[in-house]
Each structure stands twice: as structure tokens, then as C-alpha cells.
């Protein structure tokens, strides 16, 4: 028996889109100035803000997200950017464009000096010579010397090799630059992922409500009773967690559920039982630094199992973290904490990577973000996922299977070649599966469902197989679930 043909739903992280405001001259100039490193999601958010004061606050957050050390007053990333931008403006200016707005300038800002430059001839607008790191004489040419010949230049091939902060498929990239210092548009579509890697503090997420920004000062971690509880630990309340990750806003969004046993909470008796509590989560990196924090105080219903379940969302760079989370009853001071190790993949890199396989009991369209909603972190664009803690479903109840895939891109077409198939297993036996789906997008966030779980009660497993047919690589993601 095959699962019904996949229902594909593309998700856009963030709140409901607002009508873009016309930019004032200062804001327009700022946005043009950071074109080499600003992400499309950031541009959309910036344009949706109501006025110059809100955009000025965005700009503070923009640079703080790229600051390698928030504990110091110096932002090394901003300083390096401005220095490279000045160099580009001096070296590559052409009629109608500042130097930093040319292809050469954007490459210099984003990737620095190329390792080698080759004269490419003038057969086509972007040159026609095969990629090579050697000059016509057979010796590697100084990139600085070659680049300074502008404006009396010829089409060239710029070669970049792997660096500590940037790695290319095959170890190097060859980029055609024409005589007017322009590059093929597909180059920058691909190097958006390089720009994503410049974000050092994705936990400083842009939070916009009705065109207003949450201030940077309010995004920075600060002591609160709930965070102090996470630091010392507490066992007054029974707490458990369930977490997965998606790609969002140029980073990995870790989205999860924190379950707190209602015994010990101050429960309000009404038409339905509910409790007010604060749920907090923080990710600590391998150097012991807090990389991201999420804290929210909500009124949540007590479910049939006698617990309250609240969502949380953290934005993190790739790496290993200790995730600490818990719930606190502000009226009684009782709390409970738990922790686990979390591996965050690079869902913006140049190679194949996959996010979690997340199960949901329903998908609600036309949703809007609402901080009062206990499951607000599961609002993705205009869709709201309704997760099920423990991935437990009744027999014949429908389920949706959400996942994220990131693949390599063909340098000529700008397209990926991903093949994805989902299977359901009982033990080692496949009991249902989808045909392969094919995607040309490098970043895929999609779903299969609704899938009626018409199977006998017991333990099951969902398995996602992904093939990056350009890179010749495969990956598998699994998620256990239960039918009762």
C-alpha cells in the first residue's frame, strides 16, 4: 500500500507578510550598501518596517547578528566589511555603479581576494576560457596586480579555493568576470549561502509585530528567574522535551515542545483547565557560551494526560550544543528543568544536509503569529503546524510529515537535483511508501500528508531517503512514532 501522492507545502519562516513600505533615501542607501551580504529574508523584513526609526533598529540587529563577540564594543565583522567595501569602491567603479555594487566588488566583499586570476579572452560577455589558476605564461598570477588593471580590463576567471570559513564543492570555485566587472547572476544566487555563513548570532532573530521591531536590547540575553532556574537546575516539576530543526532566515531554527506535568502547577479551573507558566530554553555551545535563548510566558491548556505543552524556537549556527529547558510557575516558584545534547546541521551550506523529520497532527492555513499562543513557534509563514508530543497517534488518525533538505547547486543552471522518498516501517518491514519526488530548489521545506495511519497499534518508524544527484550523495533521516 502506497501513501497518497505527497502534498507539497513550501514554508516561509517569519510572520505574516506586510505591505512593503516605500524606503526613504537613507534606508535605500543603507540597503544598497549591504547588498553583498544581506539575505533575501532580511531584505523583505527591512522593507516591511513602518518608518526610519524601526529600520535603524533593524540595522543594529543586522550587525549584531554578524558580530563574532557580542561581549566587546568592537564589531570585527562590520569593520572588515566596511574596509573591503571601501577597497571595492576605489578599485572597481564603473559608469552608473559604485565599485562595491559591481560583481567584482561584491566578490571582494564576500570572499576577499581571489587566489588566482586568469585572462579569459573576449569571445563572450563572460569569457570562454576553461577555468585555470595559471596565467598565459604558466605562472600563477598575482590577483591584486591583475585586479588593479581596471578599467582597462579583459574578461577573466577568478579562482577561489577552500578557506577556513568557506568551502567549495571540489575544493575551489571558478567565477567568470567580464570586462565591465560583472558576473553571471547565478553566481550570487549560489553565494547567498556563503553570506548566510557570516551570521554568527542567529539567535538574535528579527521579531516584528505590526511593522515594529523588537529592540536589540530586548533580544540580548539577560538574567531572568527562568534563566537562573536553567543555570542551577530544578526538579520540583516533571519536564520533558521534543525538538527538531528546519531551515529559516538563513539559519537553522530549532523548534520544539516543552512538556510540564500539571501536578504542582497553579491550575485554573474553568470550562477547560489551564495554567500560566514561563517556559525557557537556552543553547550553550562547546565553549560554554549561551548561543541563543527563548523565553515565553503563556496560559496553556492542561491536556488529557495532565500536562501543559508549550513550544519554543531557537536560531542556531551549525554545531554541537547543550540544550537546557524548563518550566516555572511564577506564583509558587516551583520549576523543573531538563537538558540534552543537540547536533545542529548546516542547512545553508553548499553540500547535502537534512533537517529533522517532524510529525504534525494537522496543518492550519491562514495562520498568524501570536505570542499568546502556546504553539506560536510552530507558525511558519501562513501555516500553523499542530504537533503531537511523543508522536503518538490514534489508529486511522491522519499525520503530516515535514522535513527540510539542502542540496548542492549546478554552477551553470543554478538548480539542484534532489530526489526524496518517504517510507513507513514496522520493525524492518516497509509497510507504505511514496514515489520519489524531485526538486530543483537548493532549499526545500515541504510535507507529505495528510496520511491516514490505518495500521495496527504499535511502534513504527518514518524514514526519509534523500539523494543529491549532482553530488552523488545520499542521506537518511528517521523518526519513531506510535499508533494506539
Q: Which CATH class is domain 223-348?
A: mainly beta
Say what the pLDDT of residue 180 is.
Answer: 85
- What is d(CA 129, CA 446) in angstroms, rounded to the nearest whole number? 40
Residue 424 CA to residue 50 CA, distance in Å, equals 47
190 membership: H or E segment, kind and range: helix 185-196
Alpha carbons 342 and 322: distance in angstroms, whole number? 6
Q: Which helix (H) or strand (E) element contains residue 432? A: strand 429-433
pLDDT along the chain (484 residues), means of 10: 38 36 87 92 90 94 92 92 94 86 91 88 39 33 40 79 79 86 77 83 84 86 91 95 85 92 88 91 92 92 94 92 95 94 88 93 84 89 88 94 90 87 96 94 88 95 96 96 96
* pLDDT computed for residue 94 by the predictor: 82
Cα–chain center distance at 190: 15
pLDDT at 327: 97
What was the pLDDT predicted at 128? 33
Q: How far apart are CA 301 and CA 428, in angstroms?
A: 38
CB 400 within 8 A of CB 438: no
- Please indicate whether the domains covering 223-348 and 349-484 agree at the CATH topology level: yes
What's domain 349-484's architecture? Sandwich (2.60)
Domain ranges of the chain: 68-196, 223-348, 349-484
Burial class from Cβ neighbours inside 10 Å (0-12, 13-18, 19+) for residue 232 reads exposed
- Give the count of beta carbons closer than 10 Å to the beta carbon of residue 298: 19
Report pLDDT for 464. 96
Please tell me whether residue 311 adopts helix, strand or coil conformation: strand
pLDDT at 11: 32
Residue 276 CA: distances (Å) to CA of 293, 301, 302, 374: 20, 9, 10, 10
Which one, of 412, 393, 483, lies nearest residue 189 by Cα? 412
Cα 47 to chain centroid distance, Å, stands at 20
Residue 143 pLDDT: 40
In sequence order, the 6+-apart residues with CB closer than 8 A to the CB of 182 are 102, 103, 125, 126
Q: Is 386 helix (H, G, I), strand (E, B) or coil?
A: strand
Please give the pLDDT value at position 219: 86
Asked if 200 and 67 touch (Cβ cutoff 8 Å), the reply is yes
Amino acid at each position: 500500500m502506497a501513501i497518497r501522492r505527497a502534498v507539497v507545502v513550501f514554508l516561509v519562516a517569519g510572520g505574516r507578510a506586510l505591505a512593503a513600505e516605500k524606503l526613504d533615501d537613507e534606508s535605500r542607501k543603507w540597503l544598497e550598501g549591504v547588498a553583498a551580504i544581506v539575505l533575501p529574508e532580511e531584505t523583505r523584513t527591512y522593507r516591511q518596517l513602518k518608518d526610519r526609526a524601526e529600520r535603524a533598529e533593524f540595522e543594529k540587529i543586522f550587525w549584531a547578528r554578524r558580530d563574532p563577540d557580542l561581549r566587546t564594543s568592537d564589531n570585527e565583522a562590520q569593520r572588515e566589511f566596511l574596509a573591503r567595501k571601501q577597497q571595492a569602491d576605489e578599485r572597481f567603479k564603473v559608469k552608473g555603479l559604485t565599485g562595491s555594487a559591481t560583481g567584482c566588488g561584491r566578490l571582494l566583499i564576500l570572499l576577499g581576494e581571489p587566489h588566482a586570476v586568469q585572462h579569459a579572452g573576449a569571445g563572450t560577455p563572460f569569457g570562454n576560457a576553461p577555468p585555470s589558476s595559471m596565467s598565459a605564461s604558466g605562472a600563477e598570477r598575482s590577483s591584486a596586480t591583475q585586479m588593479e588593471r581596471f578599467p582597462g580590463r579583459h574578461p577573466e576567471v577568478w579562482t577561489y579555493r577552500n578557506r577556513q570559513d568557506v568551502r567549495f564543492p571540489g575544493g575551489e570555485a571558478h567565477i567568470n568576470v567580464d570586462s565591465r566587472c560583472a558576473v553571471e547572476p547565478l553566481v550570487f544566487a549560489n553565494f547567498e549561502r556563503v553570506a548566510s555563513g557570516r551570521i554568527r548570532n542567529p539567535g538574535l532573530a528579527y521579531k516584528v509585530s505590526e511593522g515594529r521591531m523588537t529592540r536589540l536590547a530586548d533580544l540580548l540575553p539577560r538574567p531572568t528567574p527562568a534563566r537562573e532556574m536553567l543555570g542551577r537546575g530544578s526538579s520540583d516539576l516533571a519536564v520533558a522535551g521534543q525538538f527538531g530543526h528546519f531551515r529559516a532566515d538563513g539559519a537553522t531554527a530549532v523548534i520544539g515542545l516543552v512538556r510540564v506535568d500539571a501536578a504542582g502547577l497553579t491550575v485554573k479551573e474553568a470550562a477547560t483547565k489551564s495554567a500560566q507558566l514561563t517556559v525557557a530554553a537556552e543553547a550553550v555551545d562547546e565553549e560554554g557560551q549561551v548561543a541563543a535563548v527563548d523565553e515565553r510566558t503563556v496560559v496553556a491548556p492542561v491536556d488529557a494526560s495532565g500536562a501543559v505543552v508549550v513550544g519554543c524556537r531557537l536560531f542556531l549556527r551549525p554545531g554541537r550544543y547543550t540544550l537546557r529547558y524548563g518550566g516555572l510557575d511564577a506564583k509558587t516558584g516551583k520549576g523543573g528543568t531538563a537538558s540534552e545534547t543537540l547536533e545542529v546541521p548546516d542547512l545553508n551550506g553548499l553540500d547535502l544536509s537534512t533537517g529533522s523529520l517532524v510529525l504534525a497532527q494537522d496543518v492550519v492555513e491562514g495562520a498568524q503569529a501570536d505570542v499568546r499562543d502556546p504553539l506560536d513557534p510552530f507558525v511558519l509563514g501562513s501555516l500553523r503546524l499542530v504537533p503531537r508530543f511523543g508522536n503518538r497517534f490514534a489508529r486511522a488518525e491522519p499525520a503530516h510529515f515535514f522535513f527540510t533538505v539542502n542540496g548542492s547547486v549546478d554552477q551553470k543552471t543554478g538548480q539542484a537535483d534532489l530526489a526524496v522518498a518517504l517510507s513507513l516501517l514496522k520493525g524492518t518491514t516497509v509497510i507504505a511508501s511514496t514515489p520519489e519526488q524531485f526538486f530543483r530548489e537548493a532549499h526545500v521545506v515541504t510535507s507529505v500528508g495528510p496520511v491516514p495511519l490505518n495500521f495496527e497499534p504499535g511502534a513504527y518508524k518514518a524514514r526519509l531517503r534523500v539523494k543529491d544527484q549532482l553530488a552523488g550523495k545520499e542521506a537518511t533521516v528517521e523518526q519513531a512514532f506510535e499508533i494506539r
